[in-house]
Structure 1
Amino acid sequence: MAHKPDYSRRTFLRQAGLSGIALTIGCSFPSAGKSAGEIILADEAKVAATELLTWIAIEPTGKVTIFTHRSEMGQGTFQAIPQIIAEELEVSMDQVSVRFAPANPQKYGPQPQEGSFSIRGWYQQLLRTGAAAREMLIEAAAKQWHVQATECYAENGQVIHRSTEKKLSYGALVKEAAQLKPPGQVKLKERKDYKIIGKSLPRQDTAVKINGTAVFGLDKKLPGMLYAVVERNPRFRGKVKSFDDSATKSVSGVKHVLTVQRAIFGVLYEGVAVVADSLWAATQGRKLLKVEWDDNRYELLDSEGLFRRMRQDLDKPLPSENFETALKNSTAIIEAVYEMPYQSHSCMEPLNCIADVKENSIEIWGPIQEANWIQADLSERLNIPIENVTVNMTFLGGGFGRKGFPDYPLEAALISKGIKAPVQVMWTREDDMTMGPFRAGAMYRCRGGVDTQQKIAAFQVISASQGIGPGHDTDAKTQPVTENAGRLDGLLNDYYTSVPHYSFAGVPTRSPIPTMWWRAPGANVDAFAGESFIDELAHLAKQDPLEFRKSHLTWDRYHALVDKLAAISNWKSRSKNEGWGVAITDCFGGIVGQVVKVSRQPDKKIKIDKVFALIDCGWFVNPDIIHAQVEGSIVMALGTAVHHATHFKEGKAVERNFDTYPMPRIHDTPEIVVHIMENDAKPGGVGEPGLPAFAPALCNAIFDLTGKRIRKLPFKLEDV
C-alpha cells in the first residue's frame, strides 16, 4: 500500500541536511501512454495528488544541490544523474554538490539499481526537471526587472537580460522562484547545444574515494551502536536445533546472543547472532559459539551431482517437429553442449547493514542497491507504516545485484528489534562468499544446421538450470518451459526473423541452492552458449565469423556496429599465427560487439593480447563513465571465464575467500580499447551489456588459434 507523507519544503530540506531557503522542484510520473509528466512544486504535491519526485535545491548563497535517487556502486550514476539535470538547469558541475536521496517512491519514483535502467529510464524526466527549474528562475528574474521572460536567458547559475546585460544569481532569485507555478511544458535543448552532456567530466565521487572520506556502509557509525556477526547454516537449509553460548558470553564485550532470520524469496533462513560492543568481540564470541543444526532432511549436493542432474535434464523431451524437419534437411549439422559454473557476487565490500528499530519506526543505513524494495519489505515484515521506514544509501563497494536483496537489512532490523538498540551487522568475506544466493550454473545443448546458401537453417538451444529463487528442491514437479515460449538472452533480435527455424527452451533443475540475479542476468550465461554456437555454425558454413553474423542481420544499427567493429579491430588484417574471436550481444538496451585477440607465447601458453569493445548505447551522458563500465565488465567477465567459480561439496560452498576464488590481477588484464557508437537513438544500458560478449569472443579466438573449442567455463589458459 502506498502512503503519501505530508512533506513540507521546510521539512524536506531539514531532513536532507540543507540550510536556508531553497527552491525544490520535482517531476511526477507520466500516466500510461504519455511521454512526459507534469512538473509540480513540493508544496503542491498534496493538492495535485501526484507522486512527487524532488531533485533540486538552491540556497540563497547560490549553492545548488542535486539529489541522486539511485545507488552508486561504481557505475557512475552519482555523476551522470546530476550531469543531466545540470545541463538543462544551466549550471556547471563545479557549482553542484550531489547527495543521495533516501528511499521515497512518492518523491523519487522507483529507485532500484538494476537492469542498466538509471539513464535510459529516467533521462527525459531528469532533463525536464532541470529545464523547469531554469524557466522558473528566469520568470522570477523577469518579474524583478519588469520585462518579458523571453527577453532573458540563463547561463552559469545566473539569469541575464539580453538587452541590458543585467544579471541575477540563482541564489538571489530562489525565494521568489519558489512561489511560482512550474511550467507545464518546457523546451529541451538539442543535442548539438549541450555544454556538459556528452563530455567526460570528472566524477564528483572520485576525490572522496581516493582520500578516504567517502562513506561506504562499512564506514557508517551511530552513537551507541553495537556490532553483530551471525553464524548461519553452511548448508543453506535447516533450522537452529540448539546452541551453546556459554563460552561466547565469557568474551569481554559480548552483550547478546539470539536467533535471527533472513528471508530469501519467501523462505526463512536461520542463524545465531552474536552482538557486542566491538566487532572484534563479536567475532571472537562467534568462534566459541556451538550451534547444532537440524538440516538432515535436505539434499546435500556436490557440484558433480548437480551438473550431472543438469545434463540429465537436457535429455528431457522437448519436441519440435518443425525444427527437427528443418535440421534434418540442412546441408550440414552440428551439436554441442556448453557448461557455465555457479558464481558468487564477491563484491569488494562484503554485505553489511545498520538498523535502528524503535517501537513504530525503522531506520537503515548501508550499501543499499534497491531502496524501495527494502523499505517495503521491512514495513510489511515488521508491521510498521512505510512512511516510518527510512532507508539511507551509502556508497556501495560493488553490488552486481546482490545488494538489491532485502535479506541482509531484514536480518539487521530483527537483531536491532531484539536488543532494542542500533546495530551494525557485518558479514565476513567467508559469509559473503558461501551463504548465497549465487548466480546459477547452467548447461546448454545446442543443435543447428546451415543451408545451401551457407546461412542458418535451424538453431536450437535447450538449457538446464535453476531458476532464480530459494532453491527448487521443494517443487512437487518441475515443468519444462514450453517450446518457443522463451528467448535466448543476449541474442541479437534479428536472428528471430532471419533464422527460419529456431527453438529456445529450458528445463528447471531441482536443487536446494539459493540463486539470484548477477550482473547482466540471463545474458551472462546464455550469451556464452549462443554466441559460441553461432561461431561454430559460421565455421561449419566455412564463412568469416563476423561476415556470417552480418549476413543474418537487417537492422541498420546492427550493420553499423559490425562495420565499425571490423574497422576499429582491423579485423581483415588477422593472420594465421593469431587467434581472433568475435561476439555481439544485445541486452538491457545496449548493443556490444567485442573482438578478442590471442596468441601463443614462446612458453606455449595462451596470452590474451587485446580486447576491442564497441558499445551502442544511443544517447549518452559521460563517455569516460561508459569506458570505465565496459572495461570493468570485461575484467569481471575475464574472472568468470578463466579464474573463479563456486563449487559445492556435501551441500556447502567450497570457495570461502580469494585464495580459492581468485580475482584477475593487473598482470592478468589485457589491453582493452573501448569505442562508443554515435547515433541519435534513445539511451540504452551501459553497466551490464559490456559483460556477456567477452567469454564467447575469447573462446572463439582460442578456437581460431588452436582449433580447440572451449565449451566449459572456467578454464585455465595454461591448459589450452
Structure 2
Amino acid sequence: MSTNQVSRRDFLRVSGLAGTALCLGFYFPSSARNAEIINATGAAGSNVELNAWIHIDTDGKVTIFNHRAEMGQGSFQSVPQIIAEELEVDLKDVNIVFAQGNREKYGNQITGGSSTIRGSYKNLLKLSATARVMLIAVAAKKWAVNSSECYAQSGHVFHKPSGKKFHYGELVVEASKLEAPKEVVLKKISEYKLIRKPLLRQDTPLKTNGTAIFGLDKKLPGMQYAVVERNPRLRGVVKSFDASATLKVPGVTKVFKVRMGVFSTFREGVAIVANTTWAAMQGKKVLKVEWDDTGFEHINTADIYKRQQEELQTKEGMYLKKQGDPDDALKQGAEIVDVVYQTPYQSHSCMEPLNCVAHYQGDKIEIWGPIQAPEWVQDFIGTQLGLARDKVIVNMTFLGGGFGRKAFMDYPHEAAIISKEIGAPVQVVWTREDDATQGPYRPGISYRCQAAIQNGEVTALKFRMAGQNIEFWMSGKTDKANGSTSEGFLQPYFESIKNISFAEVKFETPIPIMWWRSVYASTNGFAYESFLDEVAVAAGKDPLDLRRKYLQEERCQHLIDKMEAISGWKQRKKNEGFGVAITECFNSTVGQIVKVSRNADGKVKIDQVWAVMDCGWYVNPDIIKAQVEGSIVMAIGAATIHEITFKDGLVEQRNFYDYKMPRITDIPPIEVHIMENEENAGGVGEPGLPAFAPALTNAIYDLTGKRIRKLPFDLNAV
C-alpha cells in the first residue's frame, strides 16, 4: 500500500466518522514493511487516507469491508470470518459490503493467484484484535477497573467480577479518540471460535433469494444497452460495415465502430446500442461487417502442436532453473525416459457472461461490474481516457465465476468508450458465443520431459516447455524464460535430485491468452506428475514411494502419510487402478489419488477421488472442501471433455453444445482432507486443480497399461 495526501477537512467531510464511530484500518508508512493500525481521527491528523476495514457506529452496528471480489471462492465469508474472530462479534450481526477499488486505501485488490487470505490474514487478525483491545480499554476506564478484568464477546465488553457490560456502540466515541496500540496479543488457534469452523456462508442466502447484486443486475437511470460484433479471427480491423438493417430494428439507437484494449494490442468491433439488450442482439444479427485481418497468421490447431513438437526436438530454449548438469547425466544414464506431453487451449466459460456498466461523465467515469482487478481497470481506463486514476471509480459486484478472465481490462474498457460515445450510462453484455470465440484462453502447451535412471535412482530430470507466454501478452515483449515454467513442481525435488533443469522454448501465435484457474500449474502438473509416474515405472518403484523418497521435506512426508492412509494405497486390489499426483501452487500443496475400474460394459469409470490439501493456516474448512471439489470438477472437464480448437484462424467452438461441461453423472465421489498445522496461509481457490489430470491418467495406466500423454482424451474410448 501507499499513503495518499488528503486534507483533514476533506477526510472528515467524506468519512463523517472521526469522533462519532470507531473506524479502524491499516496502512504502510513510507519504506515500512509492516502495516500500522490507525483510526479515523489519527488518519485525518496524519493526512493518511484510511481504508476502514472495520466500522462500528454508536448503535453498535458493525460494518466489515471485503476488499476483494467474490466470485464463488468465499472471500465474502472468509475475510469477515477472520475479522469477527478477533473482534469478538457474531457474523449474523454484521453488515458485509464490497469496498470500492482503491489501491491507496486497500493495497492490492486483485483477486487472483489464490491471494486473498494468504496476502492479508495477518494484518486482518491484528486489526480486529486492536479494535477489541481499544474497546476493552474504554470500558475498563468507565468502570475504573483494570483491563485484565474485562473481556469481549458477541459485540459487548464484560467485567468478569461484576457481570457489568457495555455494547460496542456505547464505547466507540471514546475509543475513536484513542491511539491504536502498537502490539496486541492474538489468539492461539486452539482458542478460535469462528476461524477453522465450517460456518455457513453469508452470501448463500443472498444468492438463493435473488438479492445478491451481480453485474447483470445493475441498473442506472437512463441506461442504454449494447452488444458488440467483433472480428471472428481474433485480430484485424473493421474495413467497413452496413448498419442500415440494424437501425431498422425497433429499439436500436446507434451503431458505431469501437476499439478496445487487449493487453498491449487492440481489438476492433462494431457496437450496437439499444434500449434493451434483446433489441441490441437482434440488431447485431443483421449487421453486415467486412473485416480486414490480413497480415496475421490463420492458425490451425494441428499446426500449433506440430510446430511446438518440432521446436522441442531441435531447441534447448531459455533456462529458468538449472542445477547440476542434466545433459551429462542423461549421457551417463543406464536408462533414459524421453517423452512429450500435450495440453489443450481452454476457455474460461464462466457461468455469468462478461458484462459491465459504465457511466462516462466528462471529468470522471464510474464502473460497476464483475471485476477481479479494479486497480488494473483504473490504471488502464485512466490512461486510455486521459483521466486521473481517482477519477475512474470502480464498484465491484458479485461475480458468477472468474477463473482469471474477469481480471482482464477489455470488457470494462469497451463499456467505457461506448458510454463516452453515446453520452449516457450503458451496460455491455457479451453472449456465450462472444466469450467462446474471442478468448483470451488458457494456452495450449507441449512439454518434452527427459530423465536419467541408474540403479533404480533418478539422477537427472530435464523439462522443456513450448507454449505461449502470458508475460509476453501482457507486456508485448520478454527476453527471459517464462517465470512459470516450473510452476506446480515441488521445491523439495531440487534438494534430493542433483541434476534438474527447466527451460522455455519460445513459441508465440496471435491467439490471445491469459490466466486460467491455477495458471501454468494446470498444464505443468499434468506433464510433470505424469512423467514422474513413468519414471517410477522405469525405475521399478511404487509411484507413491518414489515421491516419498524424493520429497523429504517434513510437510510433504505428512501429506503422503495422509494420502496413503485415507486411500488404502497399500491394499490395492486386482482390477483396480490407482494413480497419484502431488502438485504445488500459490504456497499450497495438494496430493490426489484417483481410483478407476471397468464397468460392466468394459469402459473405464472413476470410482473415487481422494484429495489432501496442505494450505497451512486456514479459515473455513467447508469453503476449502467446496473449492477443491469445484477444482476437480473443472479439471475433469479440461482432461476428458472440452478444448478450444482453431481452423483457418477461427475458433471452432461457440457454446456449450460444442464446448461441453461435465454433467453430474460425470462426477465421482470426492473426499477432501485438510492438513492441520500452523504454517503460513497458502491459497485455496486454485491449488486443487492441477493434481487431478495426472492422478487420473496415472490410474488409467495402472489399470490398463495405456499411457495417456495428450489431453483431452475420451474416457469412454480408453
2:505 counterpart residue number? 507
Greater Cα offset, 144-153 or 424-433: 144-153
Write out per-residue CA displacement over residues 681-713 of structure 1, whole angstroms, 9 at most, x where no aligned residue. Answer: 111111111000000000000000000000000
2:361 counterpart residue number? 358
Superposition RMSD in Å = 2.1
Of residues 310, 313, 333, the one that matches 1:312 is 310
2:514 counterpart residue number? 516
1:84 counterpart residue number? 82
Q: Secondary structure at the match of 2:325?
A: helix
1:412 counterpart residue number? 415
2:389 counterpart residue number? 386
Q: Distance in 2 between matches of 1:51 and 1:508?
A: 45
1:467 counterpart residue number? 469
How much does 1:45 deviate?
2.6
**2:423 paired with 1:424:** no
Q: Distance in 1 between matches of 2:393 and 2:454?
A: 61
How much does 1:370 deviate?
0.8
Q: Distance in 1 between matches of 2:388 and 2:214?
A: 27
Letter in 1 for 2:439: G
2:274 counterpart residue number? 276
Of residues 450, 458, 464, the one that matches 1:456 is 458
Q: Secondary structure at the match of 1:508?
A: coil
- Counterparts of residues 701-716 of structure 1 (less than 5 Å): 701-716=699-714
1:95 counterpart residue number? 93
How much does 1:650 deviate?
1.1
Letter in 1 for 2:274: A
Letter in 1 for 2:351: M
2:538 counterpart residue number? 540
Q: Distance in 1 between matches of 2:339 and 2:440?
A: 29
Write out per-residue CA displacement over residues 305-356 of structure 1, whole angstroms, 9 at most, x where no aligned residue. Answer: 1111111221233189932221122222111110000001100001100000
> Any conservation in 2 of the 1:3–1:387 contact (CA below 8 Å)?
no
Provide closer, same or farther for how the CA distance between residues 267 and 469 of structure 1 changes in structure 2, counting only shifts above 3 A: farther
2:525 counterpart residue number? 527
Letter in 1 for 2:357: I
Letter in 2 for 1:464: A
**2:326 paired with 1:327:** no
- Counterparts of residues 296-311 of structure 1 (less than 5 Å): 296-311=294-309
1:292 counterpart residue number? 290
- Counterparts of residues 476-491 of structure 1 (less than 5 Å): 481=481, 487-491=485-489
> Any conservation in 2 of the 1:546–1:582 contact (CA below 8 Å)?
yes
Write out per-residue CA displacement over residues 420-468 of structure 1, whole angstroms, 9 at most, x where no aligned residue. Answer: 100000000000111011110000111112121x221111111110111
Provide closer, same or farther for how the CA distance between residues 31 and 8 of structure 1 changes in structure 2, counting only shifts above 3 A: closer
Of residues 330, 336, 339, the one that matches 1:336 is 339
Greater Cα offset, 179-188 or 394-403: 179-188
Of residues 661, 664, 670, the one that matches 1:663 is 661
Q: Secondary structure at the match of 2:53?
A: strand
Letter in 1 for 2:656: F
> Any conservation in 2 of the 1:251–1:281 contact (CA below 8 Å)?
yes
Q: Distance in 1 between matches of 2:21 and 2:392?
A: 25
Q: Secondary structure at the match of 2:367?
A: strand
Q: Distance in 2 between matches of 1:645 and 1:167?
A: 61
> Any conservation in 1 of the 2:264–2:474 contact (CA below 8 Å)?
no
Q: Distance in 1 between matches of 2:382 and 2:446?
A: 39
- In the alignment, structure 1 segments of 5+ residues that lack a partner are none
How much does 1:491 deviate?
0.8
Q: Secondary structure at the match of 1:218?
A: helix
1:246 counterpart residue number? 244
Percent identity of paired positions between Structure 1 and Structure 2: 54
Greater Cα offset, 579-588 or 495-504: 495-504
Write out per-residue CA displacement over residues 507-527 of structure 1, whole angstroms, 9 at most, x where no aligned residue. Answer: 121311011111111111111
Write out per-residue CA displacement over residues 619-650 of structure 1, whole angstroms, 9 at most, x where no aligned residue. Answer: 11000000000000000001100010000111
> Any conservation in 2 of the 1:473–1:510 contact (CA below 8 Å)?
no
> Any conservation in 2 of the 1:29–1:51 contact (CA below 8 Å)?
no
Of residues 139, 142, 165, the one that matches 1:141 is 139
1:629 counterpart residue number? 627
> Any conservation in 2 of the 1:228–1:424 contact (CA below 8 Å)?
yes
Q: Distance in 1 between matches of 2:712 and 2:29?
A: 45
Letter in 2 for 1:551: K
Letter in 2 for 1:490: G
How much does 1:473 deviate?
14
How many residues are treated as equivalent by the alignment?
710
Q: Distance in 1 between matches of 2:146 and 2:102?
A: 38
1:604 counterpart residue number? 602
> Any conservation in 2 of the 1:265–1:470 contact (CA below 8 Å)?
no
Q: Distance in 2 between matches of 1:411 and 1:680?
A: 45
Greater Cα offset, 327-336 or 528-537: 327-336
How much does 1:586 deviate?
1.1
Letter in 1 for 2:27: S
1:236 counterpart residue number? 234
How much does 1:53 deviate?
2.7
Write out per-residue CA displacement over residues 163-210 of structure 1, whole angstroms, 9 at most, x where no aligned residue. Answer: 222100011222222222222221111111111111000000011111
> Any conservation in 2 of the 1:489–1:526 contact (CA below 8 Å)?
yes
- Counterparts of residues 106-121 of structure 1 (less than 5 Å): 106-121=104-119
Q: Distance in 2 between matches of 1:668 and 1:46?
A: 57
Provide closer, same or farther for how the CA distance between residues 344 and 446 of structure 1 changes in structure 2, counting only shifts above 3 A: same
- In the alignment, structure 2 segments of 5+ residues that lack a partner are none
Letter in 2 for 1:658: F
Greater Cα offset, 379-388 or 544-553: 379-388
> Any conservation in 2 of the 1:20–1:60 contact (CA below 8 Å)?
no
Q: Secondary structure at the match of 2:582?
A: strand
> Any conservation in 2 of the 1:466–1:472 contact (CA below 8 Å)?
no
Q: Secondary structure at the match of 1:271?
A: strand
Q: Secondary structure at the match of 2:314?
A: coil
- Counterparts of residues 255-270 of structure 1 (less than 5 Å): 255-270=253-268
Provide closer, same or farther for how the CA distance between residues 557 and 9 of structure 1 changes in structure 2, counting only shifts above 3 A: farther
Q: Distance in 2 between matches of 1:288 and 1:23?
A: 58
**2:372 paired with 1:369:** yes
1:37 counterpart residue number? 35
Provide closer, same or farther for how the CA distance between residues 597 and 296 of structure 1 changes in structure 2, counting only shifts above 3 A: same
How much does 1:4 deviate?
4.4
Greater Cα offset, 426-435 or 1-10: 1-10
How much does 1:410 deviate?
0.6
Provide closer, same or farther for how the CA distance between residues 411 and 602 of structure 1 changes in structure 2, counting only shifts above 3 A: same
Q: Secondary structure at the match of 1:8?
A: helix
TM-score with structure 2 setting the length: 0.95
> Any conservation in 1 of the 2:3–2:28 contact (CA below 8 Å)?
no
> Any conservation in 1 of the 2:86–2:187 contact (CA below 8 Å)?
yes
Q: Distance in 2 between matches of 1:129 and 1:479?
A: 42
Q: Distance in 2 between matches of 1:681 and 1:464?
A: 35
- Counterparts of residues 31-70 of structure 1 (less than 5 Å): 34=33, 36-50=34-48, 52-70=50-68
Of residues 654, 672, 675, the one that matches 1:674 is 672
How much does 1:3 deviate?
5.3
How much does 1:104 deviate?
1.1
How much does 1:105 deviate?
1.4
Letter in 2 for 1:87: E
Provide closer, same or farther for how the CA distance between residues 82 and 472 of structure 1 changes in structure 2, counting only shifts above 3 A: closer
Q: Secondary structure at the match of 2:470?
A: coil
Q: Secondary structure at the match of 1:703?
A: helix
Q: Distance in 1 between matches of 2:6 and 2:418?
A: 27
Q: Secondary structure at the match of 1:230?
A: strand
Provide closer, same or farther for how the CA distance between residues 55 and 486 of structure 1 changes in structure 2, counting only shifts above 3 A: closer
How much does 1:571 deviate?
0.7
> Any conservation in 2 of the 1:8–1:43 contact (CA below 8 Å)?
no
TM-score with structure 1 setting the length: 0.95
Letter in 2 for 1:387: D
Q: Secondary structure at the match of 1:54?
A: coil
Write out per-residue CA displacement over residues 370-414 of structure 1, whole angstroms, 9 at most, x where no aligned residue. Answer: 111111222222111222221001100000001011111011000
Q: Secondary structure at the match of 2:376?
A: helix
Greater Cα offset, 21-30 or 249-258: 21-30
Write out per-residue CA displacement over residues 257-285 of structure 1, whole angstroms, 9 at most, x where no aligned residue. Answer: 11112111221111110011001111111
Q: Secondary structure at the match of 1:584?
A: strand
How much does 1:675 deviate?
0.2
> Any conservation in 1 of the 2:4–2:47 contact (CA below 8 Å)?
no
